[in-house]
Amino acid sequence: MSYIPQAMSGREIQHDIKFASDGPVCGLVDGVQSITLSGETALTLTAGDNQMKCHVLIVDPAGSNTLKLPGYASADLNMVGRRISIFNNASDSGELITLQDANNAFICFVGYGDSVELVVASQDSSTGALEYLLLTKEFKHTITVAANGNADIIPSVGTDSFILPKYFVFTGDQDLPTATASIEVASGVDIVEATNMPDLANDGAKQMIYSADFANVLLLENQKLNYVGGGASASTVEITVVYSLISIA
């Protein structure tokens, strides 16, 4: 016998209530669903391998892959107002989730070890088409790269979306200014010039650079945020960026 407090009156319903383990996300049943992506993965609210069953999604991107949210809900499933949380449970830094709606529109990135929250903002009464509102305002992503190598920190963003970096955290043992390493957007446009990069060899193995120390540059459509190594050795440096996402769609 289970006792379930009623939300409004505080009275109890004394019944055994059992729910099937399968079925779409439900207002009465909450939980955590683990998903491993295999290339581009499109979630649905209908029965099948990619059915979204819970409000909290623990996602292993298995590299860097795209996750699409359900595009439609049946008339008997009211999704408006429901919150969805997505956590990037990647095993390695650099693994990134690109979150899109069912029409391939970019919503946001979910970086390594980061999570985002959305709400279903509307559901068309005729077609059941869903629209989402992104609630998360600050994002992060971490990569690990050879200090003398080059790597994308954030890939190019979607249409009508812009990224504004707020600060970087570097971990390693390299003198990055002497190595003339830098952070750039587009080819040759530095956000963090070599002279402002941290000296991890002499000033501490973990250093933070705030926006006051680098150019306030928006990453526009088709622009990437890159680490450009210099003459440093091949030992690794870990870079975390924290940024805001601006959408004008």
With left for phi above 0 and alpha for psi between -120 and 50, is residue 62 left, alpha or beta? left
Token pair of 160, please? 């009508």
Q: How many CB atoms lie within 10 A of CB 181?
A: 27
Phi then psi for residue 81, to 5 deg, are 90, -5
Residue with the bigger pLDDT between 226 and 14: it is: 226
* pLDDT tens, position by position, 123-137: 999 999 999 999 999
Q: Residue written as tokens 């200090």?
A: 147
If you average pLDDT over every residue of the chain, what do you get? 87
Q: Is the pLDDT of residue 7 over 60?
A: no
The pLDDT value given to residue 1: 44
Residue 20 CB burial class (10 angstroms; 0-12, 13-18, ≥19): exposed
State which CATH number among 2.60.120, 1.10.10, 2.60.40, 2.50.20 fits the domain covering 138-247. Answer: 2.60.120
Task: Give the start-end residues of each E strand in 8-82.
Answer: 12-15, 32-36, 41-42, 56-60, 65-68
Q: Where in the chain is the domain with CATH 2.60.120?
A: 138-247
Residues 6+ apart with CB under 8 A from 248: 160, 161, 162
The pLDDT value given to residue 212: 76
Residue 179 CB burial class (10 angstroms; 0-12, 13-18, ≥19): buried
Return the amino acid letter for 28. L
| Rg (alpha carbons) of the chain, rounded to whole number | 22
User: What are the Cα distances from residue 212, in Å, to 122, 178, 223?
Assistant: 39, 21, 22
CA distance 116 to 19: 28
Q: pTM of whole model > 0.95?
A: no
CA distance 121 to 83: 9
Q: Which of 49-53, 85-89, 176-180, 211-215 has the highest mean pLDDT?
A: 85-89
Residues 6+ apart with CB under 8 A from 186: 223, 224
Token pair of 141, please? 């992503």
* pLDDT tens, position by position, 189-248: 889 999 999 999 999 999 999 887 787 777 877 788 999 998 767 789 999 999 999 887
Longest dimension (CA), the chain: 71
Q: Is the pLDDT of residue 172 over 80?
A: yes
